[in-house]
């Protein structure tokens, strides 16, 4: 999973210049790789000319900062829960981030179910909170 998060950060960055995103090596320090990729994304978003650059991807053309604010943030948020859950840490997600992830993901439901994306969504309990709804939407049991 950490491998995936690093690779997605690198793929998003590659959208800025059309380069190929380097997959992490099996022996790569993933914590350092994530910090480097995250720092590079933050630097790009902080640079108005790069942040506003139109990039292309599976979700169409959009400003780089929009790709980061939607896809990258939602992906990182969900996998943060995965890692916290897997390692016995606090898995409570930021409510605003959960709301934004649901706003982004819900309209592209079919697109994210393609091979290599999310699995089938689950039906959350009727009284589920937003985090449980997001997790169920992404095929996870809270």
As a whole number of Å, the end-to-end CA separation of the chain is 18
Predicted local distance difference test score (pLDDT) of residue 117: 77
Q: Is residue 142 domain-resident?
A: no
Predicted local distance difference test score (pLDDT) of residue 126: 96
Q: Is residue 35 domain-resident?
A: yes
Q: Is residue 95 domain-resident?
A: yes
Query: Which residue numbers in the chain have pLDDT < 50?
Result: none
CA torsion, ordered 127, 92, 119, 60, to nearest 10 deg: 110
Predicted local distance difference test score (pLDDT) of residue 28: 94
Name the domain count of the chain: 1
Predicted local distance difference test score (pLDDT) of residue 73: 95
Predicted local distance difference test score (pLDDT) of residue 1: 74
Q: Which of 15, 138, 119 lies closest to 68, judged by CA?
A: 15
Predicted local distance difference test score (pLDDT) of residue 66: 94
Structural domain boundaries enclosing 129:
2-137
């Amino acid at each position: 999973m950490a491998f995936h998060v690093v690779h997605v950060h690198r793929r998003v960055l590659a959208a800025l210049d059309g380069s190929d995103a380097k997959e992490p090596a099996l022996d790569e320090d993933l914590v350092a790789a994530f910090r480097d990729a995250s720092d590079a994304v933050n630097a790009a978003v902080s640079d108005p000319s790069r942040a506003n650059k139109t990039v292309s991807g599976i979700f169409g053309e959009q400003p780089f900062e929009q790709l980061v604010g939607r896809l990258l943030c939602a992906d990182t948020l969900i996998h943060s829960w995965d890692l916290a859950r897997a390692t016995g840490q606090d898995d409570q997600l930021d409510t605003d981030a959960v709301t934004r992830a649901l706003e982004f993901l819900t309209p592209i439901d079919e697109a994210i179910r393609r091979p290599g994306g999310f699995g089938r969504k689950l039906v959350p309990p009727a009284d589920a909170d937003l985090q449980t709804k997001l997790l169920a939407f992404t095929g996870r049991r809270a």
